[in-house]
Amino acid sequence: MAKPTTITSSAPVLENKRPAGKDAGPQQFSGAAAWLDERIGLAKIAKGGLRKVFPDHWSFLLGEIALYSFIVLLLSGVFLTIWFKPSMMELEYNGSYQLMKGLPMSEAFASTLALSFDVRGGLLVRQVHHWAAILFIAALTAHMLRVFFTGAFRKPRELNWLIGVGLMSLSLIAGFSGYSLPDDLLSGTGLRFVDGLIRSIPLIGTWAEFFVFAGEFPGDALIARLYMVHILLIPGILLALIGAHMTMVVYHKHTQFPGPGRTEKNVVGYPLFPVYMAKAGGFFFIVFGVLILMGALMQINPVWMYGPYNPAQVTAGSQPDWYMGWVEGAIRIIPNWEWHLFGTTWSWNIFLPGVGLMGLLLTGLGLYPFIEAWVTGDKAEHHLLDRPRNAPTRTALGVAGMTCYAMFWLAGGNDILSTQFHVSLNAVTYFMRVAVFVAPVIAFIVTKRICLSLQRADRERILHGSESGIIDRSPAGGYSEDHVPVSHDEAWTLTQHEQYEPLEASDAVDVNGIPQAGRGISKLRARASRWFFSDDIPVPSRDEIEEAHAHDHHELDHEVEDAKALGH
Amino acid sequence: MSHDIVPTDHPSAPVRQFPVDDPGIEHHVPRYTDVDVAAGNRAYRNILAMFGLVPVLAIAFVVIYFAVPKTAGFDVLGNNFHAQTLFLGLTAGLAVLLIGTGMVAWARDIMSDQEIAEERHEAGSDEETRAAALVKVNAGITDSGVGRRKLILGALGGGMGMLAVPAVVLLADMGPYPLAAKRAETIEKTIWAEGVRLVNDVNELPLKASDLEIGQLVNAEPETLFKLHGHEYQTEKAKSAIIIVRMDPASIKIPASRKDWQVDGILAYSKICTHVGCPISLWEQQTHHLLCPCHQSTFDLGNSGVVVFGPAARSLPQLPIKVNAEGYLVAQGDFPVPVGPSYFERDSSKDFKEGDQ
């Protein structure tokens, strides 16, 4: 296959040539288009944006799933507000669910039952809404991991990463405030936990509790307040942040993976109109359709089985929605540290895992791009994504973080683990106390080694080609496998990433013997940089590649001759 | 927007020497649907079929909405399905899904699949733009007069900053202030009082010592709770719920100070966990341990409710009980310490600790 080999920063123009005639569109602005153009400059917008190029990769769909789930949440949520009554007023249930007839319950719970049993399609939309919430947070988490592992948070996209961290934290609050609304036994138990969490804040905890609950737990104001938070405050901020997030994606243009013709200075893919309109628009309907099918086929949060909230009851095996599981786990495994000082109580056993850990995650995520830029000294713009193996330390850090999260998350089901696997609950808890610290370290080392091996394998492929599957027998009787050079496309893709050198510490004194104050590279920074980069496997240079090919060529000739002799 | 690639020199990006030359975008390989007319027509028909099914499903949705009774349900493979939820969801879900798959199939099989390239621009502005912007900024600053009358900005900023104070103060009525007096009548007090009978929390019947066997646990409430309604009932229940256990007095440790708090091995404890306030109810009869199902804090009821495992830091408060003239179990008074999760102003020095007498 003949391929151009000398293009560096430019790529051939591959505009589709369509025959004029049936496929040709309008020849001039007229009618509504002209009317709009005269008022809002439609033609300028169309000229600038209609053929905007988006690159194609399956992992770019993760953020789209999150966005579309959010739209489904808005649509289904509006439907639910038509019937849901955010009131803690007590009434006697008189709806069509026979098992609870005559039971005293809050109006919020009664209206949730009415939505489920008396409004046609109500249960379907409730389930779609809950599934969409779970998918929304799952998709945005996966999207965030994709951005992290590919280094898409680097300059110039640090601000968009920060917006993403904000979106993530707000979506957790949105989810939690949502599943607390029905006022069933499970959601009430969740709120009881939140009450304990708020109380535990040193100095201001009790005040915060009395302000949030309008007095003691549970009081009579909370559901109405959470309702405002859930349907107005948080979605409003989320919408604004999503708008900013998308605007920045358009301004920066989407990142792309390395590949033939892909450079830091272009973006290769399909045009918005018509391909991405159809693909992304169609994908919205696919996500929506799948969520409706999930709502139809998979039961979620059957509140009528839990019953109304009763502060004196709880079911064994109570679990929050999945995204709160890791905080739950931290709360479960922390030792019972509490200070009793001068008539005050400092509940570290709740404050640290609850408020502290959440704060640590969000702070760590928010700061990471800046910490990495400081360690690497990298000030360049990046539009080509890193293949995770080419940033071994970052990838290892990410996997270590995921492992830590997973350990906390598993600890959140320590009771389920012990009943399902017939092990001691205490043993699981003690194990997890150690695992949250040790497992990430193991994960870091293993991941880094895997990345380095993959880098070595890439280097090997470039220098010595791929295995041909043809086994040679030498005259002496030994066997060996021939290698064939990888394609030009692959060679370019594998060598395109930048090779970083660790930063060197600057001298403590400058050339004139005057001590350097706060300038240059500190020893700490140099050490961090060495830790980050020094193990990386070097990308083969042009000379190395030529030399290796020259060396292999001799052997290759043999193979070609043999192949000819065999009649191929 | 042009797709012509004009090699531009970005001042901040030095030209890098790559080990391998860029081969350029892959050559376009025509799809089956591009070269085979029959295949193209098949793809076309499939897409039309997907879009064509949508109105059928939409009408089916409406028919199901009106025709299927709200209460109809059926069992399939041991799963109970609510007929309306299932069929409304299947028709709506498939209809929406088919719109999506149809659009994506159109994009993949019929629309041009030639990749095109677009030039990127650096996020930042060039020096010329920056200089032009600075000219405008400085013109604005000059026009505003803040150069000579510097205090204006400070005064405006300070004034606007102070506006935050009334905005925050406006929220001061969100709840009552938990000052000592308020705490004493809310979170530090329950409706347990001298002579209040302990009643079963389900049938509200008062309990006699003879109703309990050794090893038995009963969930109980103060009799006065059931006179309350609405959120008052819930708020008081969240504090006053208790568990009553009867243990063999010979097998448990009762400190001297609590000798009179029990009746023949019948002890009453707060049911509200001292960790984050879940109601505790998993009773291990042989060990006298009580396990909280939320976070697995475990308390030894045979040893004044001390913590033996888990994240809870304080013993379960014990309610002193006695028998009244009619033989019913009654409280001697309120809990000696506040029940439920910790809070900052709580004086936790009076809680029972292992070894107290």
Of the partner residues B17, B311, B344, the one whose CB lies closest to the CB of residue A345: B344
Q: Which candidate in A113, A199, A229 is best for mutational testing of the B interface (most B CBs within 10 A)?
A: A199
CA distances from B346 to A331, A379, B315, B336 (A): 21, 52, 14, 13
CA atoms of A230 and A177, how far apart (whole Å): 6
pLDDT in tens, A406-419: 999 999 999 999 99
- The answer to whether the CB of A322 falls within 8 A of the CB of A138 is yes
Report the first-to-last Cα separation within chain B, whole angstroms. Answer: 85
Nearest chain A residue to B313 by CA distance is A336
| Contact between chains at A90 and B231 (C-beta distance less than 8 A) | yes
CA atoms of A144 and A63, how far apart (whole Å): 8
B341 contacts in chain A (CB < 8 Å): 195-196, 199-200, 347, 350
pLDDT value at residue A181: 94
The dihedral through the CA atoms of A87, A90, A94, A99 has a sign that is: positive
pLDDT value at residue A533: 87
pLDDT value at residue B12: 46
The full set of domain ranges for chain B reads 32-110, 183-344
Q: Which candidate in B18, B308, B343, B354 is best for mutational testing of the A interface (most A CBs within 10 A)?
A: B343
Q: For residue A186, which amino acid is it?
A: L
A203 contacts in chain B (CB < 8 Å): 344
CATH number of the B183-344 domain: 2.102.10.10
Of A72, A12, A60, nearest to A289 by C-alpha is A72
pTM of the model: 0.90
| Contact between chains at A120 and B307 (C-beta distance less than 8 A) | no
pLDDT value at residue A523: 83
pLDDT top residue among A555 and B226:
B226
Extended beta strands in A334-478, E state: 339-341, 344-346, 466-473
Nearest chain B residue to A462 by CA distance is B20
pLDDT value at residue A519: 58
pLDDT value at residue A15: 43
| Contact between chains at A315 and B293 (C-beta distance less than 8 A) | yes
Of the partner residues A193, A274, A282, the one whose CB lies closest to the CB of residue B276: A193
pLDDT in tens, A54-91: 999 999 999 999 999 999 999 999 999 999 999 999 89
For residue A164, pLDDT over 80 is answered with: yes
Q: Which single residue is written with the structure tokens 């009081």?
A: A219
CA distances from A46 to A52, A145, A246, A370, B132 (A): 10, 34, 18, 37, 28
Q: Which candidate in B234, B240, B274 is best for mutational testing of the A interface (most A CBs within 10 A)?
A: B234
Q: How many residues in total does chain B contain?
A: 357
Give the ranges where A150-214 is alpha helix by DSSP (H): 158-179, 185-199, 205-213
Q: For residue B356, which amino acid is it?
A: D
Of the partner residues B182, B238, B313, the one whose CB lies closest to the CB of residue A349: B313
Min Cα distance A532 → chain B (Å) is 22
| Contact between chains at B295 and A279 (C-beta distance less than 8 A) | no
Min Cα distance A482 → chain B (Å) is 23
pLDDT value at residue A4: 40
Of the partner residues B22, B108, B311, the one whose CB lies closest to the CB of residue A334: B311
| Contact between chains at B85 and A265 (C-beta distance less than 8 A) | no
pLDDT in tens, B323-350: 998 889 999 999 999 999 999 999 888 8
Q: Could you write out the three-class secondary structure of A101-114?
A: CCCEEEHHHHHHHH
| Contact between chains at B84 and A121 (C-beta distance less than 8 A) | yes
Angle at Cα A148 formed by Cα A146 and Cα A151, nearest 5°? Answer: 105
DSSP string, B224-248: GGGG--HHHHHHHHHHH-EEEEE--
Of the partner residues A3, A219, A338, the one whose CB lies closest to the CB of residue B313: A338
Of the partner residues B28, B296, B344, the one whose CB lies closest to the CB of residue A332: B296
A18 contacts in chain B (CB < 8 Å): 112
Secondary structure element (H or E) that encloses residue A270, with its range? strand A266-271
- Percent of chain A, pLDDT > 90? 63
For residue A509, pLDDT over 70 is answered with: no
Contacts 24+ apart (CB under 8 A), A556-564: A556/A482, A556/A484, A558/A472, A558/A482, A559/A468, A559/A470, A559/A472, A559/A482, A562/A470, A562/A472, A563/A470
Give the ranges where A200-324 is alpha helix by DSSP (H): 205-213, 222-228, 234-252, 277-297, 303-306
Classify residue B196 as left (phi > 0), alpha (psi -120 to 50) or beta: beta
- The answer to whether the CB of A107 falls within 8 A of the CB of A88 is yes
CA distances from A551 to A464, A486, A488 (A): 9, 15, 18
Secondary structure element (H or E) that encloses residue A53, with its range? strand A53-54
Is A57-313+324-386 a domain of CATH 1.20.810.10?
Answer: yes
Q: What is the ipTM of this complex?
A: 0.89
B115 contacts in chain A (CB < 8 Å): 14, 56, 268-270
| Contact between chains at A10 and B278 (C-beta distance less than 8 A) | no
The two counts, helices (H) then strands (E), for chain A are 21, 8
Report the first-to-last Cα separation within chain A, whole angstroms. Answer: 18
Min Cα distance B126 → chain A (Å) is 14
Over residues A225-245, mean pLDDT: 96
> With bands split at pLDDT 50, 70 and 90, how would you rate the model's confidence at A467?
confident
> What does pLDDT average to over chain A?
88
pLDDT value at residue A378: 87
Weakly modelled stretches of chain B, pLDDT under 70: 1-15
For residue A6, pLDDT over 70 is answered with: no
Extended beta strands in chain B, E state: 73-76, 79-82, 116-119, 198-200, 217-222, 242-246, 266-270, 282-284, 289-291, 298-300, 306-309, 318-319, 321-323, 329-331
| Contact between chains at A380 and B93 (C-beta distance less than 8 A) | no
For residue A566, pLDDT over 60 is answered with: no
For residue A562, pLDDT over 60 is answered with: no
CA atoms of B134 and B113, how far apart (whole Å): 45
Per residue in A151-178, is it b (16+ CB within 10 Å) or e — as a string?
bbbbebbbebbbbbbbbbbbbbbbbbbb
Size of interface A-B (CB pairs under 8 A): 409
Q: Which residues contact A543 (CB under 8 A, 6 or more apart)?
A: none
For residue A564, pLDDT over 70 is answered with: no
CA atoms of B236 and A218, how far apart (whole Å): 9
Of the partner residues B24, B115, B241, the one whose CB lies closest to the CB of residue A269: B115
Tokens of A423: 């092990």
Nearest chain B residue to A297 by CA distance is B86
Cis peptide before B249 (omega within 30 of 0): no
Q: Which single residue is written with the structure tokens 């150069």?
A: B147
Of the partner residues B25, B95, B276, the one whose CB lies closest to the CB of residue A261: B25
